[in-house]
Structure 1
Amino acid sequence: MKDPLELPLRKRITEYIRRNPGVHFRQISRDMNLALGQLDFHLNALVKGDVLIKDVSTGNSRYYVRDRFSRDERRIMSQLRREIPRGIVIFLLENPDSTPHDILEAFTFTHATLSYHLKRLEKSGVITAEQRGRRRFYRVKDRDMVEMLLVMYRPSLLDTIVDSIS
C-alpha cells in the first residue's frame, strides 16, 4: 500500500489527531474505541508514511499531524494536554511573576505537587523562573504562542478555564 491514508480508518485517526494535537496514545484508543494493538499498527504506518509525528520527549507517546506544529509548539502542547500543568500555565498567564505561594493559594494540590510540575514546566521551557533574593517568580516564557495554542485548541483541551483568556 503506497498511500498511508488509503484506508478509511487511517483517515479517521489522522483527522482525530488534527483536531486533538498532542493527544496521548491511550486517549486515542479510548476516544476512538480501538484496540491498542490495532491502533499501534495504524499509528506506526502513519508515522512511517510521514503523515504523523510521534513525540516521546515527555516520556509519553503524543501524536501530531506532520508539518502542522513546530518543535516549540509540540513542546508546549504536550504540557497543556495535562490538567495540572495547564492550570498552572493559565494561572501564570493571568498572574505573571507569581511565587509558588501565590500559585498554591489558587489550587488545592500540595507544595510537592506544585514543585514537581513547576520543575517540569521550567525544564520543558514553557515557563521561566527568576530568583529575587530568597523568592522565585514564575512567568510564561512565550505568552503569545501559549495563548494562541490555548485558544485554537480549546475544544480539544477539554477545560473551561481556557475560556478566561479568549
Structure 2
Amino acid sequence: MTRKHVAINFAVIALILVVVGAFSAQLYEQTQFRYSYEYRHGVIVSSAAALNAVTINQYTLLAFTPCFATATSVPNQSYLNNTTRSEIYTYISQNPGAQFRAIAAALCLPLGLAEYHLAVLVKSGLISYIRDGRYKRFFTAKQYTKSQMQTISLLRHRTARRILEALLHKRELSHSRLADEVAITSQALTWQMKTLRNTSFVIEVNVGLKTVYSIEQSAEPTLSKYLALVG
C-alpha cells in the first residue's frame, strides 16, 4: 500500500471519528435534557422522539475541537433542517402569538420536546416572544414590532377579541348593550375595558349616565387586519 493510500485511509477514518463523536455528543446533550425534563415535569419523551430531536449543526461539528483549526459560522436557517423545528417554525409563522401549549397540542408534540426545540429556535434568533401575563407568545423574529406583537397577543384573548369585533361591526355601543352583545356580565365588561382603554383602538365617552364605546376610526384598518390574522 502506497503512502498516498495510507494518507487517504487515515483521513477517512479521522472523518468518521469526527462525525460519530459529534453525533454522540449531540445525542448525549439532548438525552440529558430529556432526563432533566422528566425529573422536573414528569413528562416522558419517547426514544423515537428524542432521536428525532438530534441534528448535526455548528455545535456538533465542534465536538472534536482538536480536529479543526477554525470554525465557520452557519446561517440561522440551518436550524430548520430538523423536521420538528421546521414544523414549529411554520406553525408559528402561520399562527403568530401562539402560546407554548397550543403549539405542542397542534403539532402533537410531547411538552419536553416542544420546549427544547422552541428554546433552540429562540436562541438561534429565528423566533421571538413577548410575555402575556404568565404566558409567552411566540412570533417569527423581525416580522412584527413590539407594538404589533402586543396587539396580536391581546386579540388572542377570546373575550377581548369579541368585544372589538362587536364594536367594529356595530360602530358604537353603550356599556349595557356591549355586554349583551358579547354575552358577559357588566362587571366582566368593566374589567375587560380597563385593558382595552389602554390601546389605541377604543374610544370611551360618557353621555349623561351612559358610557358609550366605539372604535377609533383611524385604527379600523389595522384592527381589521389583525382580527383576520388571528381569526
In the superposition, the TM-score normalised over structure 1's length comes to 0.81
Shift of 1:124: 4.7
Q: Hey, what does 2:184 align to over in structure 1? A: 109
- Conserved 8 A contact 2:166-2:182: no
Q: Hey, what does 1:12 align to over in structure 2? A: 87
Return the alpha-carbon distance in structure 1 between the equivalents of residues 199 and 88 of structure 2.
27
Q: Which has the higher contact order (CA 8 A, sep 6+)?
A: 1
Letter in 2 for 1:64: F
Mapping of residues 88-103 of structure 1, within 5 Å: 88-103=163-178
Shift of 1:23: 0.7
Shift of 1:17: 0.6
Q: Hey, what does 1:144 align to over in structure 2? A: 221
- Conserved 8 A contact 1:73-1:145: no
In structure 2, relative to structure 1, the CA distance for the partners of 1:52 and 1:38 (3 Å cut) is same
Q: Match for 2:119 among 32, 44, 63?
A: 44
Identity percentage of aligned residues? 22
In structure 2, relative to structure 1, the CA distance for the partners of 1:53 and 1:126 (3 Å cut) is farther
Q: Hey, what does 1:70 align to over in structure 2? A: 145
- Conserved 8 A contact 1:129-1:136: yes
Q: What are the ranges of 5 or more consecutive residues in structure 2 without an aligned counterpart?
A: 1-56, 59-77
Q: Which has the higher helix share?
A: 2
- Conserved 8 A contact 2:97-2:152: yes
SS in 2 for 1:108: coil
Return the alpha-carbon distance in structure 2 between the equivalents of residues 79 and 128 of structure 1.
17
Q: Map Cα deviations across residues 96-128 of structure 1 (whole Å, 9 max, x no partner).
A: 342211201213221222122221222354434
Q: Hey, what does 1:21 align to over in structure 2? A: 96
Q: What are the ranges of 5 or more consecutive residues in structure 1 without an aligned counterpart?
A: 158-166
Return the alpha-carbon distance in structure 1 between the equivalents of residues 181 and 198 of structure 2.
23
Q: Mean Cα displacement is larger for which, 102-111 or 25-34?
A: 102-111
RMSD: 2.0
Return the alpha-carbon distance in structure 2 between the equivalents of residues 136 and 98 of structure 1.
9
Return the alpha-carbon distance in structure 2 between the equivalents of residues 125 and 60 of structure 1.
23
In the superposition, the TM-score normalised over structure 2's length comes to 0.60
SS in 1 for 2:79: coil
Letter in 1 for 2:170: N
SS in 2 for 1:56: strand
